[in-house]
Amino acid sequence: MTSVGTAYIDGGGERDQRNSAVFAAFCSNVNKPNRNGETMKFLDEAKVYIRSGDGGAGAVSFHREKFIEFGGPDGGDGGRGGDVWVEAVNGLNTLIDFRYQQHFKGKTGVHGMGRNRTGAKGADVTLKVPVGTQIFEEDNETLIVDMIAEGQRYRLAAGGNGGFGNAHFKSSTNQAPNWANPGLEGEEKTIWLRLKLIADAGLVGLPNAGKSTFLAACTRARPKIANYPFTTLHPNLGVATIDGQEFIIADIPGLIEGAHEGVGIGDRFLGHVERTRVLLHLVSAQEEDVAKAYKTVKHELEAYGGGLEDKPQIVALSQTDVLDEDELKAKSKALAKACGAQPLLISAVTNRGMIEALRALRDVIAAAKAGEEQA
């Protein structure tokens, strides 16, 4: 391996370690035990019931004190009920916590008291979700909010208002009201949480196209790699460094013909590359018909929709170390004819073309970011 390749793989030092720490848990989800000692699984969709707190009731009270003949009403108002909030936080990469708790309720506001004492507000409850989580109504289609930034907060349900105490109703014509309002009920609803990872580049291709090997070679992520289909069962993230610049790469399970109809693992994980700025389409050099392999994945991307078919796409012929030069030239020519552009030739084992592939991804990402800033 050349010194350039070594710098590219291990470059970034402490900065790469700091950034990749955000995604470290993601890369080890398969082997990490959860709170019950079970193997943690990746969860990108959850159904949750939320209810904000009821408002506290107003108080009916009259001032009683020696030497004061007509103390008058002094019942305080009730406190507001607790709100239900959602907050995007760093360090989370899955919705697995919502497997163990599906009900979130704000506290009821404290009732009003005599001596014009207003009840305290009920405690809020906050749902902490990974950055990139979308919140939908119960129909799973109506978007409420898209949590795209760390620290972003949104109130999903407002607590009920507290009721007025009898002091509120005192007037010149009614100086001793003997009633008070109850607090208003809180809001309740069922919502869906759907996680779409935030990455700069996404890896797509058939099973065993070398996507996980590519990710492991250019980042510190350690996805499961084996010589059988569907080794990757959940998305993986890694931080790649090239020429001092960093970007995030997402690797998703492989697609096969009919994935949009549920064949294989299906296409549900394609949602995790919807936010990417560029796709790296890997076609294995071990495929007998590389053009057919390319068209199969291309068709599945078009069938899925979500704007994936319109994203910039870099096509690469992977695992080129298994072919001799004549075979490699023939398959490269066939793939170029299918995709309409000259594909990159890469091998994560020998490091062939890896730097060029990362630079190509970086250039597209940088151009997309510049366009967003100008807009």
Residues making up the binding site: 205-212, 230-234, 251-254, 318-321, 347-349
Could you tell me which residues are annotated as the binding site for Mg(2+)?
212, 232
What is the C-alpha to C-alpha distance for residues 285 and 279, in angstroms, rounded to an integer?
19
Handedness of CA 323, 324, 326, 332 (dihedral sign): positive
The DSSP secondary-structure symbol of 33 reads: B
Number of CB atoms found within 10 A of residue 35's CB: 9
> Alpha helices of 78-141 — where are they, by DSSP H?
none
Tokens of 252: 């998703």
Beta bridge partners of 143: 136
Beta bridge partners of 125: 84
Give the C-alpha distances (Å, rounded to integers) separating 297 from 84, 250, 262, 341: 41, 17, 14, 16
Those residues with Cβ within 8 angstroms of residue 221's Cβ, 6 or more apart along the chain or in another chain: 20, 23, 26, 27, 215, 236, 237, 238, 251
Could you tell me which residues are annotated as the binding site for GTP?
205-212, 230-234, 251-254, 318-321, 347-349
